[in-house]
């Protein structure tokens, strides 16, 4: 361990070695919450205004309709505006696009949303991945849990669809199910289409989960993009590099963060850790003047990075 790694270990509360476990004090390092008195009149009026503004367009109205209309939950497979919903693995579902010509070979992007968010919102509202061209098919995973109509979270100050998230704690059985679910999506898409490369993009909690995929499913993904995720802010997160065999792939990783991102330091730490463990490609990009949010302006950079891996045959 060099001096910088030693300093990192002391500063971040990490054990630098084969296993990495987050200590409780790391949870409080940079993670700032917004404490809001939810019962006062100004909050309630502000909540109504935010939701009306945020979800006033037709696409988000469709998202809310899907969330609140039981008709969508009772159908195992639907197609909406070219988006296909399919049910797999104990009634969990995912959304995906399809190639115009099923005989064409395409690359696949699997996108995982952040905590308290839903796949429908990502595919219809927050990303522009539906318009990236015929080279890709895009699948959007949905974490388990009860989805609710959106409301402003009392601590974090952003719209929430319920207390739902990708499991990142190693001692929880839900992690195993989320890993099986991820494998099932990739397998289901490969059964349907001629897929060459499989790329993973995860935002926030989904980005933290993405780094676990590099350890638990090392040979499934061509590359992993952890968008404002990094090593996360949970003391139950455990990076066990002993899971990797000698001949397992060390998946190329891109850590995409923002100048004012709450997870910027977590992304910096993830870069040092994975490089320290012998991953040959661990890149990081810091976008200026942006906080912890997914904006589609990140997508050209991410797609160009994926293309560079293909061109250089990493």
Nearest 5 degrees, angle CA 65-CA 127-CA 132? Answer: 120
The string of pLDDT tens digits covering residues 24-61 is 333 333 333 333 344 444 444 444 444 444 444 555 56
Q: Residue 109: which of 197, 207, 13 has the closest Cα? A: 197
Q: Which 8-state DSSP code applies to residue 126? A: I
If you write DSSP's letter for every residue of 242-263 in order, what string do you get? GG--TTS----EEEEEETT-TT
Of the listed ranges 119-128, 155-164, 170-179, 201-210, the least confidently predicted one is 155-164
Of the listed ranges 5-14, 47-56, 150-159, the least confidently predicted one is 5-14
Task: Say if strands 92-96 and 83-88 run parallel, antiparallel, or are unpaired.
Answer: antiparallel
| 3-312: CATH topology | Rossmann fold (3.40.50)
CA distance 34 to 230: 22
260 CB-contact burial (10 Å; exposed 0-12 / middle 13-18 / buried 19+): middle
CA distance 159 to 153: 6
Residue range 255-274: mean pLDDT, rounded: 96
**Residue written as token pair 């004012």:** 260
Residue range 275-304: mean pLDDT, rounded: 96
Structure tokens at 15: 């054990």
CA distance 289 to 108: 30
Which of the four pLDDT bands, split at 50, 70 and 90, describes residue 22? very low
- Residue 149 reports pLDDT greater than 80: no
Structure tokens at 142: 């949905």
Q: Do the Cβ atoms of 78 and 84 come closer than 8 Å? A: yes
- Residue 254 reports pLDDT greater than 90: yes
Q: Which residues contact 313 (CB under 8 A, 6 or more apart)?
A: none
Q: Which residues contact 54 (CB under 8 A, 6 or more apart)?
A: 60, 150, 159
Q: Where are the domains of the chain?
A: 3-312
Cα 251 to Cα 54, 148, 225, 304, 306: the distances in Å are: 37, 35, 10, 17, 12
């Amino acid at each position: 361990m060099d001096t910088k790694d030693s300093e990192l270990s002391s500063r971040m509360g990490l054990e630098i070695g084969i296993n990495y476990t987050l200590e409780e004090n790391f949870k409080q390092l940079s993670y700032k919450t917004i404490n809001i008195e939810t019962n006062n009149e100004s909050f309630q009026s502000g909540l109504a205004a935010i939701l009306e503004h945020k979800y006033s367009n037709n696409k988000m109205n469709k998202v809310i309709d899907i969330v609140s209309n039981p008709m969508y939950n009772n159908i195992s497979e639907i197609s909406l505006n070219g988006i296909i919903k399919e049910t797999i693995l104990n009634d969990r579902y995912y959304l995906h696009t399809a190639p115009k010509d099923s005989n064409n070979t395409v690359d696949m992007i699997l996108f995982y949303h952040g905590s308290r968010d839903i796949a429908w919102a990502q595919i219809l509202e927050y990303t522009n991945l539906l318009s990236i061209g015929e080279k890709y098919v895009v699948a959007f995973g949905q974490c388990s849990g009860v989805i609710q109509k959106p409301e402003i979270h009392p601590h974090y100050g952003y719209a929430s669809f319920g207390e739902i998230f990708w499991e990142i704690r190693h001692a929880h059985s839900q992690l195993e199910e989320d890993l099986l679910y991820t494998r099932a999506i990739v397998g289901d898409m490969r059964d349907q289409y001629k897929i060459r490369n499989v790329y993973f993009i995860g935002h926030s909690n989904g980005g933290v989960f993405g780094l676990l995929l590099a350890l638990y499913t090392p040979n499934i993904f061509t590359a992993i993009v952890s968008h404002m995720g990094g090593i996360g802010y949970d003391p139950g997160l455990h990076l066990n590099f002993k899971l990797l065999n000698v001949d397992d792939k060390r998946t190329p990783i891109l850590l995409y963060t923002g100048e004012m991102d709450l997870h910027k330091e977590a992304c910096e730490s993830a870069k040092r850790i994975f490089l320290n463990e012998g991953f040959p490609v661990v890149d990081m990009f810091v976008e200026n003047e942006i906080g912890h949010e997914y904006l589609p302006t990140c997508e050209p950079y991410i797609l160009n990075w994926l293309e560079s891996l293909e061109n250089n045959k990493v």
